[in-house]
Structure 1
């Protein structure tokens, strides 16, 4: 088994001059940033997308690839329903290049608590008009004959699907370039240019890009950039580990989540991508320390699945704070996979699919940095700076929710509000400890 990054296949971009101005600048070339750029291009705006690394090289290219409505809370369900429609539309435009499979999603309940969780989603499905079936043990075995014993209930949403994140990001990157998006890779946003509480530009090492509309979609780097301007956004960064088997005979086209164990999807090659979605390693930095009073409930409620590690990152951040220096940029290197979690996930996969057992060969394992909020919901909205919209804290939901979130943010940029998308529950102001930009505070 290899443990390492899965890289994009597009060639290294040639250095490009930073433009002097654009109608909109998007910080972050992940799935959220690029889809927002496409929406703004369709609205007739010129768009520059900046990324300190390569497009899709962070969490957008590292996740499991689930696009599921099932299991989302009421505050996200409408956006997820719209996202599923939009992924289907993108598949219509890009075809097999997107790597989209509309195979549905199955949530497996094995004990009393997980059975209650599966059944509790039925009212949300009815309210949203999302097809949803509850399968008892016999029906579940008939639908999924490979599934292990001990299943109490399976919830199935036939309109859900999944993507190969690496393939999808290559396709979306290509589409953005073909639509006239100016993509500047390996060009970080150093700071925002603010005048009178208005963001009027984005500073890069190659100069400032003047703009009246900035979207911050930089994942785990978002809160650190905002902090440079006095905006405190409680957020922590976790590292999620994913593994992949060698090709095996076709089991299912559905994504599957055992609520007491592993989640999996089988890609077009027959490989099974799997992981323990709730198990996350946290490399503690200044953001986690400063937000600790507001994240304490999150940590205590998830102590079985969140693992805190205080090391080099925290030491560097404390040193910067003591010297009154800005916090150093976070590393671009993809984090290392947690091989202990891979071993545990492999055992759980064997419980879910007994025919695989623990003998199935693991081809590779990798990790991605997940930007999360205290309530595990995305953060979409304004932070007290005119001309800036924040799109971050996806909490592992970013790939699935991206098309609808991008559509809503583009509406805010173009018209001043999110239109028919109800994102009120995702506003940054809901977070305890959030502090918006204060035009009266000394800088």
Structure 2
């Protein structure tokens, strides 16, 4: 039997970041991953490192995470191809442009500077845009990275600092005896830990249900594509107001884009893209950037992502079990948040406190019928109030105690 201060279920970016930050604070850690670190949502996503366009309650967490992205090379030994190329969110109507201007005004209260670009300047600055674009909002701090590199880089850095990371090991069940957690593993061994972090991604609700906290987590499979290399011209990472299609180009010339969803089977751990959805994504991407019409798709793919009804993740302390901490259900936009969420989880595990306002993400926000008491986007009406939110449950000063 292994005894550690903190056990982490899930080897995605969130779990691997948590393991690294815990070791940097001196806690003993074991991380358990059913397959390979970064093998699901963390490694098969689009790769956007985006603050712009998030629900405003996520911006403090996104800002914290962005500072870590800037220090990635020093933290994990590689920049994981992260580039602050900017994120350009496009409007295709006057009403969408008005939405972007309102959002830019509210985002400034969180320290996020966005530049709105009207119809006169948008085509001068980005002449390759399609005729349907009437304006946009540009965030210079945002960009993209290679998702296949990031979680494994955090895992390697965690191992180098003394974390015990075990791949191809499934947690069959976990329980709490009032003092410590015991995890039963697929190899017949067990782990005892003083704290438990549930970073199990699309399977996070299975773990939370073990502790009497069922939540309505569903799954989705974002349908994504990559082309062969073409001359590099598309510098910013592109999105559209209201979602629907996203496009970026890497310096090697390949264009990554996506729209719609494929098929995901959570029980069988299988996901696949769909040809008709891919065809629709092609049409949307070419409408947005006509120069892409001559590009050749060389691969399509997808993965399994956990989705919450209100589009916000579950992040924070359990409301049933002392020492249990949740972080799952990132609803297709957790890649940028991952490094920062890991840092916050380490603070919750060691200090039972964090300076980042995470109350909107508490697991208890769901009512008995599965609906959320938070309406996605509702923070837009009062960003100042939301930026100061702090759960009383996360303001304590209890320190991590070792397992005996």
TM-score, normalized by length of structure 2? 0.86
CA–CA distance in 1 between the matches of 2:222 and 2:28?
35
Structure 2 residue 173 is the aligned partner of structure 1 residue 188: no
How far apart are 1:148 and its partner, in Å?
1.1
3-state DSSP of counterpart to 2:290: coil
CA–CA distance in 1 between the matches of 2:316 and 2:88?
32
RMSD: 1.9
CA–CA distance in 1 between the matches of 2:62 and 2:248?
19
3-state DSSP of counterpart to 1:355: helix
Tell me which residue corresponds to 1:378. 313
Q: C-alpha deviations, 1:198-246, integer Å up to 9, x for none?
A: 5522111222201101100001111123324432112111111110011
How far apart are 1:425 and its partner, in Å?
0.8
3-state DSSP of counterpart to 1:268: coil
CA–CA distance in 2 between the matches of 1:42 and 1:93?
10
How far apart are 1:92 and its partner, in Å?
4.1
Matches within 5 A, 1:129-148: 129-148=111-130
- Residues 78 and 153 of structure 2 are in contact (CA less than 8 Å); yes or no, is this contact kept in structure 1? no
Change (3 A) 1:94 1:232: closer
- Residues 9 and 197 of structure 2 are in contact (CA less than 8 Å); yes or no, is this contact kept in structure 1? yes
- Residues 101 and 253 of structure 1 are in contact (CA less than 8 Å); yes or no, is this contact kept in structure 2? no
Q: C-alpha deviations, 1:394-430, integer Å up to 9, x for none?
A: 1112111112211111111101112x10001111111
Structure 2 residue 350 is the aligned partner of structure 1 residue 409: no
- Residues 241 and 365 of structure 1 are in contact (CA less than 8 Å); yes or no, is this contact kept in structure 2? yes
Q: C-alpha deviations, 1:109-158, integer Å up to 9, x for none?
A: 00244323322211222101212100012311122121111322210010
Count the aligned residue pairs.
367
CA–CA distance in 2 between the matches of 1:36 and 1:152?
42
CA–CA distance in 2 between the matches of 1:407 and 1:164?
20
How far apart are 1:363 and its partner, in Å?
0.9
How far apart are 1:282 and its partner, in Å?
6.5
Tell me which residue corresponds to 2:269. 332
Change (3 A) 1:96 1:249: farther
Matches within 5 A, 1:158-307: 158-196=140-178, 199-205=180-186, 206-259=188-241, 261-276=244-259, 279-281=260-262
CA–CA distance in 2 between the matches of 1:83 and 1:159?
12
Tell me which residue corresponds to 1:106. 88
CA–CA distance in 2 between the matches of 1:340 and 1:138?
36
Structure 2 residue 291 is the aligned partner of structure 1 residue 364: no
Tell me which residue corresponds to 1:36. 18
- Residues 99 and 164 of structure 1 are in contact (CA less than 8 Å); yes or no, is this contact kept in structure 2? yes
CA–CA distance in 2 between the matches of 1:364 and 1:68?
24
Q: C-alpha deviations, 1:53-111, integer Å up to 9, x for none?
A: 11100011110011111111221011111111110111344565511111110000002
CA–CA distance in 2 between the matches of 1:251 and 1:95?
29
CA–CA distance in 1 between the matches of 2:180 and 2:361?
22
Tell me which residue corresponds to 1:353. 289
How far apart are 1:32 and its partner, in Å?
0.3
Tell me which residue corresponds to 2:54. 72
3-state DSSP of counterpart to 1:380: strand
CA–CA distance in 1 between the matches of 2:96 and 2:183?
46
Tell me which residue corresponds to 1:117. 99
- Residues 91 and 135 of structure 2 are in contact (CA less than 8 Å); yes or no, is this contact kept in structure 1? yes
Tell me which residue corresponds to 2:387. none
Tell me which residue corresponds to 1:55. 37
CA–CA distance in 2 between the matches of 1:52 and 1:219?
12
Change (3 A) 1:177 1:253: farther
CA–CA distance in 2 between the matches of 1:394 and 1:143?
33
Give ranges in structure 1 of 5+ residues lacking alignment: 1-18, 284-312, 314-328, 436-443
CA–CA distance in 1 between the matches of 2:6 and 2:269?
24
